[in-house]
A and B are shown apart, each in its own frame.
Chain A
Amino acid sequence: MGKTLTRADLIDALGREVGLSRNDCSDLLESMLEHLAKTLEKGQLVKLARFGNFSVRSKRPRIGRNPKTGVEATISARRVVSFKASQIMRERVEKG
C-alpha cells in the first residue's frame, strides 16, 4: 500500500511501451480521458473490455446525515458515475 500513480507515471509507461514521443503520449492520454468523460456526460455507458464498465446513475434527492455532527441535510438529486471492474481485473486485484 502507499504509492499513488499520476498522469506523469502513465506517460512514462507509455514512453517505455509505445514508441511515440512524450508529447503524443501525453496528448493521447488527455484525449482518451476527455472521450470517456464526454461519453459519461451524455449519460452513455463506457465498456472497456478486460478493464471494466463505467455507467451513469441518477440518484433521487434524499435525507442524509453528516456522520461527524449528526446534523440532517437534504442530499440533492444528482448523477453519479459507477465503475464495475471486469471479472479479469477483480481476480487480479482481489489477492492484493
Chain B
Amino acid sequence: MLRSELVAKLASENPHLFHGDVERVVDTVLEEITRALEKGDRVELRGFGAFSVRARGARQGRNPRTGEGVAVQAKHAPFFKAGKELRARLNGGVDPGE
C-alpha cells in the first residue's frame, strides 16, 4: 500500500470530507512523528506500535564499490517497535512476545 492509496481509501470512507483535507491529515501525522524523532522524542501509538530514536555507535565502514575502509560517525537512527495488538494480529491472534 502506498501513501496515495492510503489517502484514497480514507477519502472514499469519508465522503463528507475534502480529499485535500484527508491528504493533509496523513501528511501531518507522518510529519509530526518525524519531527518528534528529530527532537529525540518518542511517539507511542497504543495497539499499533512505538517510534523511538536509537543511538548507533561509530564504526569502521567500507565503501562497497572500492572496498576502501571509511570511518562512520556515531549517529541516531529511527526505530519502530510493533505494539502488542499488532504483534498478535500478525500471529493468529496471539502475541508471541518480544
Tell me, yes or no, whether A binds B: yes
- CB-CB nearest in chain B for A4: B42
Q: How many A-B contacts if CB must be within 8 Å?
A: 156
- Which among A1, A13, A80 is the interface contact of B32 at CB below 8 angstroms? A13
Contact A81 B53 (CB under 8 A): no
In the bound complex, CA of A81 to CA of B51 (Å) = 13
- Taking the closest CB of chain B, its distance from the CB of A5, in whole angstroms, is 4
- Which among A3, A28, A52 is the interface contact of B41 at CB below 8 angstroms? A3
Residue A19, interface by CB 8 Å: yes
Per-residue CB proximity of A10-22 to B under 8 Å, as 1/0?
A: 1001100111100
Residue A95, interface by CB 8 Å: yes
Interface residues on B, range: 35 or more
- Chain A residues with a Cβ closer than 8 Å to the other chain, count: 55
Contact B38 A93 (CB under 8 A): yes
Contact A40 B45 (CB under 8 A): no
Given contacts A18-B25, A49-B2, contact A31 B30 (CB under 8 A): no
Taking beta carbons and an 8 Å cutoff, which residues of A are in contact with B? 1-7, 9-10, 13-14, 17-20, 24-25, 27-29, 31-33, 35-37, 39-41, 44-52, 54, 56, 75-76, 78-81, 83, 85, 89-90, 92-96
Taking beta carbons and an 8 Å cutoff, which residues of B are in contact with A? 1-3, 6, 9-10, 13-14, 17, 21-22, 24-26, 28-30, 32-34, 36-49, 51, 53, 75-80, 82, 85-87, 89-91, 96
28 interchain pairs, CB-CB under 8 A: A2-B40, A3-B36, A3-B41, A3-B42, A5-B43, A6-B45, A9-B32, A14-B29, A18-B25, A20-B25, A24-B14, A28-B10, A28-B22, A28-B25, A29-B25, A32-B25, A32-B29, A33-B48, A37-B48, A40-B90, A44-B1, A47-B1, A51-B34, A80-B87, A90-B77, A93-B34, A93-B78, A96-B40
